[in-house]
């Protein structure tokens, strides 16, 4: 039987796993390590580097080294996230003709899904080296609060990398599978997932092999990168105060500072104090300048406590949506590298009044859960009966006066299908435009536009008489299909909702052909 893998495509690190019998196992990368930096770089000679090799030379080639690309998946150039990246990252971003975000890598401008595809292709090679055979199928995880654009962008990345996606699964849900595989007890669990770039909170019930997601919430732009940036800002502010030199415009210096910041943050998860030494960080006529600062865990917590606090309103909302109180949670699972921070662990313990499970490896559990899901899909996991996930955001259409009418509410179990009847607003109206939206705001203009299509040939009648049934269908991957049907004439129009300004199928085919010829 062909091998199927589970892939955690992370912001900072990625991980890949498979099922060995009834146990999930992590596959080492080509360097023998169990996690791979989600980093892509192009050298001066045009060589493409992925993972550890790319990370090692990041500070010598910052403009052509791409990190944290997951945060930009499905984003527009004018988005808040893109504009912050322009200020923070040494690599350059550009705007495509349709408003999409593009990244300058070497001499080319390429999309975030293409960069993610390079990481997925490397993970695929790791698996093929491990098994000694081709691997063409995968279950891939995404943050629970990824919208439809971001999920589709992830599927596009997999296609470019030569992988058929059997299922897109939410990261916290995958973690719960990894946790619950060998857990015989029935329980209500909370999965607090904070990785390098995103945050999710998911509440689930495990009951006799059924994994039922009750509610999910989160922020796709809150994670370890923000903690690193706080340390970077502190170091550069101190340097400016002491040396009267602003490092913010020196991309090479900033890359060194960022690497030192991440290293210090990691060390402070295990020690109370660390020293940051960056010799020759800047040169002036009077000589070279250096950074030499002590950073304590207490100072780090002062710098970043508000970032941890930002996650709690999402927890409160998820609990409210699931009609639960914190004391009703039996177990708490922490997922993602940022949750190693003692402050997060202590604040979560205080909130739920219980210690998180310690035996969970936050870097590997998501990929292992994805591998378990692959076993379920292949019929190899007899003990796991059913996985019931939810849609993270409400879906509906725009009506008159900029109103947003929800058809499928957030936290509805998927797959699902719902129909709602609408009518015309003008006499003898022969056409209606269906504007598909995703979000929670009452005004249509304040939600995310997913697609537009027209239903034509409606039977001529006074306003309010025709019945037009609008049906929304969400599959197990969270991909949306919408149809509109005039009951009188039985005319129907339907569409599979894809990112309205993402990569087209033709563009993906061109990218695949270009890679086959060895071009960037």
Same domain, 266 and 376: no
Report how far residue 119's alpha carbon sits from residue 331's, in angstroms, rounded to the nearest whole number.
33
Residue 513 lies in a domain: no
Residues β-bridged to residue 141: 8, 169
Name the phi and psi angles at 438, rounded to 5.
Answer: -135, 130
Q: 385: how many CB neighbours lie within 10 A of its CB?
A: 12
Residue 508 lies in a domain: no
Same domain, 264 and 301: yes
Q: What percent of the chain has pLDDT over 70?
A: 96
Residue 507 lies in a domain: no
Whose tokens are 């009847």? That residue is 421
Among residues 114, 171, 477, 486, the one annotated as catalytic is 171
Same domain, 290 and 265: yes
pLDDT tens per residue across span 425-474: 889 898 899 999 999 999 999 998 888 888 898 888 898 898 999 999 98
- pLDDT computed for residue 502 by the predictor: 65
pLDDT tens per residue across span 339-373: 999 999 999 999 999 999 877 899 999 999 999 99
Among residues 137, 156, 193, 225, the one annotated as catalytic is 193
Among residues 8, 148, 228, 262, the one annotated as catalytic is 8
How sure is the predictor about 500, in pLDDT bands with cuts at 50, 70 and 90? very low
Structural domain of 125:
4-222+312-390
Q: Identify whether 193 is a catalytic site residue.
A: yes
Q: How much is the CA Rg of the chain, to the nearest whole Å?
A: 24
Angle at 369 (CA atoms; ends 364, 374), nearest 5 degrees: 130
Same domain, 261 and 128: no
- pLDDT computed for residue 504 by the predictor: 72
Among residues 3, 70, 265, 498, the one annotated as catalytic is 70
Same domain, 218 and 231: no
pLDDT tens per residue across span 76-87: 899 888 898 888
Nearest Cα neighbor of 477 from 493, 503, 501, 496 is: 496
Residue 383 pLDDT greater than 80, yes or no: no
Q: What is the mean pLDDT of residues 306-312?
A: 97
Q: What CA–CA distances, in Å, run from 144 to 219, 298, 432?
A: 9, 31, 33
Same domain, 36 and 172: yes
Residue 91 gets which letter from DSSP? S
How sure is the predictor about 75, in pLDDT bands with cuts at 50, 70 and 90? confident
pLDDT tens per residue across span 140-153: 999 998 888 888 88
At 304, list the tokens. Answer: 């970043």
With a CB cutoff of 8 Å and minimum separation 6, the contacts of 60 are: none
At 365, list the tokens. Answer: 């559990």
- pLDDT computed for residue 355 by the predictor: 94
Q: What is the mean pLDDT of residues 3-20?
A: 96
Q: Decide if 151 contacts 478 (C-beta within 8 A).
A: yes
Q: Decide if 411 contacts 421 (C-beta within 8 A).
A: no
Same domain, 436 and 355: no
With a CB cutoff of 8 Å and minimum separation 6, the contacts of 412 are: 390, 391, 418, 474
- The model's pTM: 0.89
Q: Identify whether 8 is a catalytic site residue.
A: yes
């Amino acid at each position: 039987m062909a091998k199927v893998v589970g892939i955690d495509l992370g912001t900072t690190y990625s991980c890949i796993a498979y099922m060995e019998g009834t146990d999930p196992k992590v596959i080492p990368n080509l360097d023998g390590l169990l996690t791979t930096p989600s980093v892509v770089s192009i050298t001066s000679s045009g060589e493409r580097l992925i993972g550890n090799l790319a990370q090692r030379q990041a500070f010598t080639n910052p403009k052509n080294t791409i990190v944290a690309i997951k945060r930009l998946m499905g984003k527009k150039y004018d988005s808040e996230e893109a504009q912050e990246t322009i200020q923070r990252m040494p690599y350059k971003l550009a705007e495509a003709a349709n408003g999409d975000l593009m990244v300058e890598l070497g001499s080319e401008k390429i999309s975030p899904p293409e960069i993610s595809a390079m990481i997925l292709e490397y993970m695929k090679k790791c698996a093929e080296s491990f098994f000694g055979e081709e691997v063409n199928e995968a279950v891939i995880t995404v943050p629970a609060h990824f919208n439809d654009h971001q999920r589709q962008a992830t599927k596009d990345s997999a296609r470019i990398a030569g992988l058929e996606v059997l299922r897109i699964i939410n990261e916290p849900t995958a973690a719960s599978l990894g946790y619950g595989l060998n857990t015989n007890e029935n329980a209500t669990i909370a999965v607090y997932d904070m990785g390098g770039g995103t945050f999710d909170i998911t509440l689930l019930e495990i009951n006799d092999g059924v994994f039922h997601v009750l509610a999910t919430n989160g922020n796709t732009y809150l994670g370890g990168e923000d903690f690193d940036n706080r340390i970077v800002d502190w170091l550069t502010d101190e340097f400016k105060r002491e040396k009267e030199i602003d490092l913010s415009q020196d991309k090479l210096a900033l890359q060194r500072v960022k690497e030192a910041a991440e290293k210090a943050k990691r060390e402070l998860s295990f020690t109370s104090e660390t020293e940051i030494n960056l010799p020759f960080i800047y040169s002036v006529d009077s000589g070279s300048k250096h950074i030499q600062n002590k950073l304590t865990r207490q100072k780090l917590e002062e710098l970043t406590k508000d970032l941890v606090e930002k996650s709690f309103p999402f927890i409160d909302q998820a609990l409210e949506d699931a009609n639960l109180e914190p004391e009703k949670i039996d177990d708490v699972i922490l997922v993602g590298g940022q949750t190693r921070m003692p402050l997060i662990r202590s604040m979560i313990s205080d909130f739920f009044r219980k210690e998180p499970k310690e035996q969970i490896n936050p870097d590997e559990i998501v990929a292992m859960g994805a591998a378990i899901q692959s076993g379920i899909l292949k019929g190899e996991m007899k003990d796991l009966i059913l996985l019931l996930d939810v849609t993270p955001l409400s879906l509906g259409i725009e009506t008159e006066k900029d109103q947003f009418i929800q058809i499928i509410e957030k936290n509805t179990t998927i797959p699902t299908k719902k129909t709602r009847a609408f009518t015309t607003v003008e006499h003898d109206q022969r056409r209606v435009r269906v504007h598909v939206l995703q979000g929670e705001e009452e005004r249509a203009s304040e939600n995310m536009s997913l697609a537009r299509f027209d239903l034509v040939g409606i039977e001529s009648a006074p306003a309010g008489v025709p019945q037009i049934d609008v049906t929304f269908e969400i599959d197990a991957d969270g991909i949306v299909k919408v149809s509109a049907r005039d009951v009188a004439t039985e005319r129907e129009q339907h569409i599979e909702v894809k990112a309205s300004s993402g990569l087209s199928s033709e563009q993906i085919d061109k990218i695949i052909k270009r890679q086959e010829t060895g071009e960037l």
